[in-house]
Amino acid sequence: MTLTPHRSGALLLAAVSALITLVASSAPAAALADPQPRRLHRHTTEEITRFLRGFYGSHGPSEQDRVNRVSQLLKDKQAHFPETDVLLCRPGTPQSVTVGPATAAPSAFVGWATVTTTWPSGVTDTFTAYVRTDSRPITLDDVICAG
């Protein structure tokens, strides 16, 4: 009686061996392709200040900026509060807008600045505008009104 090797076992062993060889040979190649992990760019306080000053301008954000440079969170917030302008904390067009220097908390991926608006009635309001430091492109993420 002649014993023949079990063919399915031999095929399975060959397949496992090929898989191990493939994984072992591709791992070093992947490591060599990008020896340093890419670092995520985070917006600096200067970039955040420049963005917010450009965004708010002298009299509030443009319609184009409202569409293209605002987070979905703020768009949803505006939809829930149509009686006010959530980007300015009240309806209307301010007489002037001043954006202070930004501060950032890199570990929280957030930067913010105080925005002061002066209205034709003489009323002055302040609120805080927030930007995610890892947003691409940079966008206004949230606004918290002072009261």
- For residue 138, is it within any domain? yes
Domain count, the chain: 1
Residue 81 lies in a domain: yes
Measured in degrees and rounded to the nearest 5, phi and psi for residue 22 equal -65, -45
Q: Which structural domain range is residue 95 located in?
A: 45-145
Task: Tell whether 98 is covered by a domain.
Answer: yes
Separation in Å, CA 14 to CA 17, 33, 39: 5, 29, 40
Residue 23 lies in a domain: no
In a domain, 4, yes or no: no
Q: Are 56 and 97 in contact (CB under 8 A)?
A: yes
* CA atoms within 13 Å, Cβ hemisphere of 108: 8
Domain-located, residue 26? no
pTM of the model: 0.72
Distance CA 102, CA 53 (A): 10
- Tens digits of pLDDT across the chain (147 residues): 555 444 444 443 444 444 444 434 444 443 444 444 455 789 999 999 999 999 999 999 999 999 999 999 999 999 999 999 999 999 999 999 999 999 999 889 999 999 999 999 999 999 999 999 999 999 999 999 986
